[in-house]
Amino acid sequence: MIFPSPFDSRMKRYPASGFTLIELLTVIAIMGILGVILITVVGQARQMVDKTECASNMRQLGIATMAYVQEHDGKYPLSNSEGSWDLRLIPYFDHPGANAPTKILKCPSDPRDLILPGVNNFARSYSVSAPHQSTDSEGNVVRDNRGMVRGDFSRQISELTHPADTVFLAEWFSDGSGTIFDGQRQFKPAYAWLNGWYVDQGGGWPSLPGKKPYHGEVMNFCFADGHVESIVPWEIDDSPNRWLAVRGSE
């Protein structure tokens, strides 16, 4: 006579637990999908934070600019060999001087370090809008009706036809290949201004690698009345053309 083993009933009462291969693969696939979603959400959140911080920087610069304008007979800060526009704004925000960097002038999306190689070289992410400029046959400087400041030329706020819709500062720290980085320094005249999107860049608006705007689909702009907006960059050229400081027929 064969007696059943006591382990037989125990095994029947407590069946083996665990994942089958298909269940394991399913869990791994779900975890992978959730990981991708999480990375995307975190990236978008970081992008939003950077955009907001950048807009805050530009807002402070806009306030400083309006204070400067009020104290200089309605003129915007020059950007020439004697000093760039940002250097002239130092007295209007809390900063020790040109021998120290300020985060106000660096967008958090700008991949450079704040302090760059060399003496008193600090990253600057913003440039002032400037008119196109040329010389006629008699050697006179000829400027078009766009832009705010270039060299020894500065607009007066009273001559602007639409100050709340005219770009004063734009983000400009890189094109697709990063070739502009070396020229952008805090308190240095070099690359202190830009002529719309097209001069000095070979066409198109500045972007990060992959032709991505600095903040997802938008970039920040400070207008001539000091306010800041986040705008799809190519729309700046649309009607109305926001580079135009003095508008007639467009």
Give the pLDDT score at 91: 94
Domain ranges of the chain: 21-237
pTM (2 decimals)? 0.79
Return all residues near 87 (Cβ < 8 A) that are at least 6 apart: 98, 187
Contact assessment for residue 127 and residue 149, using Cβ atoms and an 8 Å cutoff: no
Give the pLDDT score at 1: 55
Report, in angstroms and rounded to the nearest whole number, the Rg of the chain calculated over CA atoms.
28
Give the pLDDT score at 42: 56
Give the pLDDT score at 181: 67
CA trace torsion 95, 121, 76, 194 (10° rounding) = -150
Strands, E, within the chain: which ranges? 126-129, 133-135, 141-143, 149-150, 153-154, 167-171, 193-194, 219-223, 228-231
Contact assessment for residue 141 and residue 135, using Cβ atoms and an 8 Å cutoff: yes
CA trace torsion 68, 69, 73, 75 (10° rounding) = 110
Give the pLDDT score at 203: 57
Give the pLDDT score at 159: 94
Local mean pLDDT, 10-residue blocks, the chain (250 residues): 55 60 78 72 71 96 97 94 92 89 93 88 92 85 90 93 95 68 80 68 68 88 96 87 81
